[in-house]
Amino acid sequence: MDEIIEELRELAEEVPVPLELPEHDDTVEAEEAILLPLPWEFRHYLLTASDVVYGYLEPVTVSDPSSHTYLPEVAAMAWSVGLPRDVFPICEADGGYYCMDPEGIVKFWRGDFDNEQWDSIWLWVRDVWIAGGLT
């Protein structure tokens, strides 16, 4: 996990208005807004690496309610188009959503779930976000 965070930070792009890392209270507010628990590893990701901007993927954030990546807003949109209510989106992409279940398993959903899955947010970050880069 630490190696993945370090690699992600090395790849981070400079942006005019940088994102901020959330406080613990921000994660609690987002959790209460979506009425689903945030798995520990995902909460850790939010608190340590959700300020990184890299490539074309824009994972959800919880520090700024006015952001287009704000988890409760992204979740409301995803659920309105049919994403099952027992999972929440972590990133909108390719006409669907990478989403997470309460156990922390990440899957891709576009009307139905793909067979591919990642056992943690960190594996998804490594295999999808970092590996996908700027493509």
The pLDDT tens digits of the residues spanning 55-74 come to: 999 999 999 999 999 999 99
* Angle, helix 24-34 to helix 40-49, in steps of 10 degrees: 130
pTM of the model: 0.93
Cβ–Cβ < 8 Å for 100, 90: yes
Mean pLDDT by 10 residues, the chain (135 residues): 90 88 97 96 97 95 96 98 97 96 96 94 96 68
Give me the pLDDT at residue 134, please: 52
Helix, strand or coil, per DSSP, at residue 15: coil
Q: Give the model confidence (pLDDT) of 75-93 as tens digits.
A: 999 999 999 999 999 999 9
In degrees to the nearest 10, what's the CA dihedral of 15, 127, 102, 64? 0
What pLDDT shows up at residue 110? 96
β-pairing verdict for 88-93 and 96-100: antiparallel
- CA–chain centroid gap for 106, Å, is 10
